[in-house]
Amino acid sequence: MAAKSAIEWTESTWNPVTGCDKVSPGCKHCYAERMAKRLQAMGQANYVNGFKLTLQPHMLDYPLFWHKPMMIFVNSMSDLFHKEVPREYIDKVFSVMRRTPHHTYQVLTKRSERIVKLDKHMLWPENVWMGVTLENADYAHRIDDLRHCGAHTKFLSIEPLLGPMPALDLSGIDWVIVGGESGPGARPMKEEWVADIRNQCINSGVPFFFKQWGGFFKKKAGRMLDGRTWDEMPAAQNKDSYAYR
């Protein structure tokens, strides 16, 4: 059975790799690191190494047995494009995704430079959405790296949003997610930062998904912006428009 996810913009998770390390300010309070240490303490076999990067080859074939079509977040507990993940292993993950076209896979990375490096070697199936995570304008170069890869659907996860992003180049981008940081030590996010990104998405015709305000009590803070939720998603069949969940 697939692992159901509480993440608002997906349905399930698949982790053929676990563990990571920090590369930019958005990683400071990494939820995956907290969860990995908790699972290690509980004796979960996949987390015997805690948050040290670990390949999980026994997990590779799991989606082959999930017959119901699902939206699957790949490596919610790691980064598939981490330098310690061999290219051959990435190819194996992509092979499984190509063999299961009834699923839609969402892949996120902060290591956009490796997408550029590997792009010419990769076969991008239409059911793989490739995204980059960024937290402020200092990391906008990740968008440029993503834009030039061969993925059919490209998206941004701007979470945790840690500063204003007033001049986003959204050309070639199919979807934008924004969210505030949650959990212990969560850093604040200003409403005007979120509204500005939302407005840029509207002006560019890019679907916008607002995940959360965050904070220590994220459920209490909710996810309403200007009196409504924003759950826009890329249309599955029509890349020239977008659909609502």
Q: Where are the domains of the chain?
A: 3-14+64-244
* Residue-wise pLDDT tens digits, 21-49: 999 999 999 999 999 999 999 999 999 99
pLDDT-based confidence at 241, cuts 50/70/90? very low
| Residue 68 near residue 36 (C-beta atoms within 8 A) | no
DSSP string for 23-61: -SGGGTT-HHHHHHHHHHHTT-GGGTTTTS-EE-GGGTT
- How far from each other are the two terminal CA atoms of the chain, in whole angstroms? 23
What's phi and psi for 212, nearest 5 deg? -175, 155
Alpha carbon 52 to its chain's center:
20
Amino acid at 168: L
Residue-wise pLDDT tens digits, 95-114 = 999 999 999 999 999 999 99
Query: Mean pLDDT, to the nearest integer, of 178-206?
Result: 97
pLDDT band at residue 1, thresholds of 50, 70 and 90? low
Label the pairing between strands 71-74 and 232-234. Answer: unpaired
- Report the b/e string of 72-109 with b at 16+ CB within 10 A: bbbbbbbbbbbeebeeebbeebbebbeebeebbbbbbb
Question: How far apart are the C-alpha atoms of 129 and 173, rounded to whole Å?
Answer: 11
Place of tokens 């969210």: 179
3-state secondary structure of 78: strand
